Homo-oligomer: A and B are copies of this chain.
């Protein structure tokens, strides 16, 4: 609707649930608020005083409600900047020019990164993988899949496909300690890498991926797909990354904008 700009904005109608203890009703009000369209990760919720006034409740009751949500990890309290919706634990830069190395991203956020090599095999390229790598269907490739954790919680599963001819001798051991694939390519194989277009979408991972991320089957995840090329433009890797929707957010950095 296009509103007459002279109309005063009515205060939002607040009707707390009277059938439960007041602090529980306040918690429900806050949860509805922060799950609504205006709020997102990192945002500050209204102050205790403002909530007490708006809801007509005692400030100590509001504090008890917030304490409970903080204890559940649904809010975060900071002595200087108020109470906020927590940021996802992994803020993953996806600018074209930034690294994909997830270990360093997690560590720079002050968390502990972990990883597990779930699968490593030499296999043959399916038609679909072959097309991404610009090789013949059935060509030999190395395929491996790694699970990444942030403070021991699984946050991301990445599956890589690489033509075997580019990485002779690559073995599971080379990747078991979360080594950077791009570091290995550069240092051992003399291959400098360039990312192609990164595609970011919402998609359900496979049932196995959902289970590994601790999500119900069919849950929507943040999906990243990309190809990596060598400096001559030859495809080196086709990669698919399934990210936990609650633990990972992608970000790009500041830049000038064209209209």
Interface residues in chain A, defined as those with a beta carbon under 8 Å from any beta carbon in chain B: 1-3, 5, 9, 35-41, 43-47, 50, 88, 91, 94-101, 117-124, 126-129, 131-132, 159, 172, 180, 182-183, 185-186, 193-206, 208-209, 220-223, 225, 228-229, 240, 242, 245, 249-259
Contacts and interface: CB of A to CB of B under 8 A. Distances in A.
Given A43-B128, A127-B46, A199-B40, A180 B5 contact: no
A97 B96 CA distance: 10
Contacts of A127: 44-47, 50
B196 A254 contact: yes
Contact of A198 (B41, B117, B194, B251): B251
Contacts of A91: 199
A203 B40 contact: yes
A36 B207 CA distance: 9
Contact of A222 (B43, B99, B201): B201
A202 B222 contact: yes
A33 to B, nearest CB: 9
Given A2-B172, A123-B9, A40 B186 contact: no
Contacts of A3: 119-121
A37 B249 contact: no
A194 B254 contact: yes
Contacts of A229: 254
Contacts of A129: 38
Q: Which of A95, A99, A119, A253 has the most CB of B within 10 A?
A: A95
Contact of A259 (B118, B159, B183, B251): B183
A15 to B, nearest CB: 18
Contacts of A202: 202, 220-222, 245
B259 A182 contact: yes
A138 to B, nearest CB: 11
A238 to B, nearest CB: 10
Contacts of A197: 251-254
Nearest to A204: B35
A95 B252 contact: yes
Contact of A200 (B9, B50, B195, B251): B251
19 contacts: A2-B117, A3-B119, A9-B123, A40-B225, A43-B128, A46-B127, A94-B200, A94-B252, A95-B95, A100-B257, A182-B257, A185-B259, A193-B257, A193-B259, A194-B256, A199-B251, A200-B222, A200-B249, A228-B257
